[in-house]
Amino acid sequence: MTLKPRPHDSLKVWTAKASLYCIAFWVFLPAVYIGIGCVLVVVSAALLMAPYMGFAAGNLHVAKHVVEPQHCEPLRTRASRLKPAPQTSKKPVYNANCVTVRTERGLYEQGRVVIATTSAILLYHPDTGEAVRIPTKDAIIEAIGSLQKIEESTQAREQAAE
């Protein structure tokens, strides 16, 4: 933007206008850059918080839906699943998702599902506290209503191996 004096402006008026334009330019230009910098800092902080939020959500899921429940989700028919559940209390009661995994190689594992992908499943054993990753290639995965005790599970593994 060029500052041209008008024909009736005196040198004093023109100098005052030019000074105001210079002051405005040098005051607002840094303010714009400071504003852009603040926006970048906020966006960067939000992006850096995303992995932490995912980690916290995963920990909460495992604690609430895998470790904390006292029982496995009972097996139900399609009709009973479609019925609306009655509201008995304000605090919901969670049940764990329990499965048995059997393979052709004789592997027999059971536990609570922590996470499952197309290639593997991670099971948690509440009695021992251990977590086991099992490949799901050629595996049969069955939902079960309750987990067997460790001794019964060991006997079932031995029977499956025979």
Report pLDDT digits (tens) over 84-119.
Answer: 877 777 777 788 889 999 888 888 888 999 999 989
Residue 51: what pLDDT? 94
Residue 152: what pLDDT? 55
| Residue of 66, 76, 61 lying closest to 111 (CA atoms) | 66
Residue 54: what pLDDT? 93
DSSP 67: I
Block residue for tokens 């048995």: 100
Percentage of the chain exceeding pLDDT 70: 85
- For residue 87, report the phi and psi dihedrals to the nearest 5 degrees: -85, 110
116 compared with 24, residue with greater pLDDT: 116
Q: Quick check: 127 pLDDT over 90?
A: no
Least confident of 103-112, 133-142, 146-155: 146-155
Residue 104: what pLDDT? 81
What are the structure tokens assigned to 51, written together? 């992995």
Least confident of 12-16, 94-98, 101-105, 150-154: 150-154
Mean pLDDT, residues 37-60 taken together:
94
Burial class (CB in 10 A: 0-12, 13-18, 19+), 128: exposed
Q: Identify any residues that bridge with 102 across adjacent strands, giving them in sequence order.
A: 108, 140
The model carries a pTM of 0.60
- For residue 72, report the phi and psi dihedrals to the nearest 5 degrees: -85, 160
Judge whether 115 and 127 are in contact, CB under 8 Å: no
Residue 159: what pLDDT? 63
Cα 136 to chain centroid distance, Å, stands at 23
Residue 146: what pLDDT? 85
Q: How far apart are CA 97 and CA 75, in angstroms?
A: 10
